[in-house]
Chains A and B, each alone.
Chain A
Amino acid sequence: MTERFSSRWGLVLATLGMAVGTGNIWRFPRIVATNGGGSFLVAWVVFLILWSVPLMMVEFSFGKHARHGTVGAFVRMAGKKFAWMGGWVALCATAIMFYYSVVAGWCLRYLAAAATGGLKSADATVVWESFTTSYWPMLTHALALGLGVSVCWFGVRGIERVAKVLIPTLFVLVVILAVRAVTLPGAERGLEFLFAPDWSALGDVNIWLQALTQNAWDTGAGWGLILTYAIYMRAREDVPLNAFMIGFGNNSVSLLAGIMVLCTVFALNPGASSEIVGAGNEGLTFVWMPQLFAQMPAGGFFMTLFFLGLSFAALTSLISMIELATRVLIDVGFRRRQALLTIAGAGLIFGLPSARSLDFFHNQDWVWGVGLMLSGLFFAIAARRFGLERMRSEVINGPGADLRIGRWWTFLIAFVVPIEAVALMVWWLWQARTWDPDWLNPLGTANVGTVLAQFAIALLVLLVLNRWLARKAAGVKEASS
């Protein structure tokens, strides 16, 4: 008997936990601040509807209808020739899992340091540099991976129980921090910066593509993670209302995080605001935020809450990535715990290079971040193969649906999402030409060559293995744990 979430709330909280990750807290505030504030927010809301929510419905439909992980689901929905596309989705999410565990480890390390007062008086730049050049990230990577695996060990019930505690707590933490930030003297400068629109920016295509990228990366749509959790949804469970709820819930947290970070920055160090929001994800979170919290009354307490929230966000997303990879192995005949130990071993080994080298970490983040856009395109192609009208009538508007979805969804998946995915990939690769003079060098950290080389190797292997993948992943019934 396949496991199931015990209730709708178990599914929704686990899926929200998947969607809300570090990208909501450390990337969204930076991107909105550097891309026109209020006008970026308009584009960001538009792409929530034009990218994230329609793709979430596709993923829910795949999982609910096929009841298989990404490879098996692509075979069952689109046919045997499409196993490699499901394999790509799994590979992308698993490659991200390898380095995301390192990120979760950083968050845990900073949580411990904040809770013990180790960050308050120290030079944050020195702390960050000495930490990342030490062996500590390898240990914290192993710890984060171990925590994620131990939750998945107990199957979907374990994931559900953890999500029911961590996600409501995370919402409360983010609200507390946002309220603290807006009540700081001078916080209105942060609100002005966040919400004041620069209407001329809406004529800049880069703003729209940044807003689309933010939706593609931080809602989790098109990653295969929602598909994986949807395998365990009840037979008469709703798809469309859940998809909207998760999209809006995820972006609600992003907005709170934007308010929290920008009000804190503008209230405590307005002179360095440009430098702070331009410092990159790690620079903002691990170098600047500890310095800002240190200036705040009861700063140690609020710093601990910040890193606690960040750790919860990272761990619940990591758990979904571990479950995705585990589920693919279960489909090919592994027992759950065998599969988990295999994934844990692989995650431990393949995460080590990112734990040891920030250059390697940034390379993987760049390559598989672009890979996710291809994953979104593959979902749209496979959904077309299944039949969009059939999917809409039989699955999305099928038993248990709380909303009726019209033909607008069919149009978005057939035309708009594929165009968005191609535009995003072309735009990012075009931009990357200017980052590195040797832009075709496959050994570069963040350039076009490294993406093309790693994509070519991965796609070649998956295409060669297509027939084997199709036979194994779609044909074997789930082994019990």
Chain B
Amino acid sequence: MSGIAVLMMVLIPGLIWGGFLYLLTRAVRSESAKREVGDAG
């Protein structure tokens, strides 16, 4: 595989999957924080 293909293979999934996991983690933290202060719903 060419170097540029490897670079893109790291960058694009890194952005999409990494972005999704970051957003998911942030949502999980937010929900647990809201639950702690009884703020949900």
The answer to whether A45 and B8 touch (CB under 8 A), given A188-B1, A245-B27, is no
**Residue interface bits A1-24, CB-to-B below 8 A is 1, else 0:** 000100111001000000000000
Beta-carbon contact of B1 and A191 below 8 Å: yes
B41 touches A45 (CB 8 A): no
Q: Any chain B CB within 8 A of the CB of A137?
A: no
Give the residues from 232 to 273 in chain A that come closer than 8 angstroms, CB to CB, to chain B: 234-236, 238, 241-242, 244-245, 248-249, 251-252, 255
Interface size class of B (residues with CB under 8 A): 20 to 34
Q: Does A38 contact B (CB under 8 A)?
A: yes
Least CB distance, B10 to chain A, in whole angstroms: 9
Answer whether residue A129 sits at the interface, using C-beta atoms and an 8 A cutoff.
Answer: no
Report if A192 contacts B (CB, 8 A): yes
Whether A41 sits at the interface, judged by CB under 8 Å, is: yes
A197 & B27 in contact (Cβ 8 Å cutoff):
no
Chain B's closest residue to A45 (CB) is: B15
Query: A401's closest neighbor in chain B, by CB?
Result: B30
| Beta-carbon contact of A241 and B26 below 8 Å | yes
Interface footprint category on A: 20 to 34
Tell me, in angstroms, the Cα distance from A249 to B18 when the chains sit together: 10
Cβ-defined contact, A236 with B9, below 8 A: no
Number of A-B contacts (CB under 8 A): 75
The answer to whether A255 touches B12, judged by C-beta atoms less than 8 angstroms apart, is yes
Query: Which residue of chain B is the closest to A41 with respect to CB atoms?
Result: B12
Residues from chain A with Cβ under 8 Å of B31 in the complex = 7-9
CB closest residue in chain B, given A44: B12
What is the CA–CA distance of A255 and B14 in the complex, to the nearest angstrom?
11
- Nearest CB of chain A from residue B13's CB, rounded to whole Å: 6
CA distance A159 to B8 in the complex (A): 37
Sample (21) of A-B pairs whose CB atoms are under 8 Å apart: A12-B27, A38-B4, A38-B5, A38-B8, A45-B12, A188-B1, A197-B8, A236-B40, A238-B27, A238-B30, A241-B27, A244-B23, A245-B20, A248-B16, A248-B23, A249-B20, A251-B16, A255-B13, A255-B17, A402-B27, A402-B30
In the A-B complex, the 9 residue pairs with the closest CB atoms: A196-B5, A248-B20, A38-B8, A195-B8, A245-B23, A195-B9, A402-B30, A248-B19, A234-B41
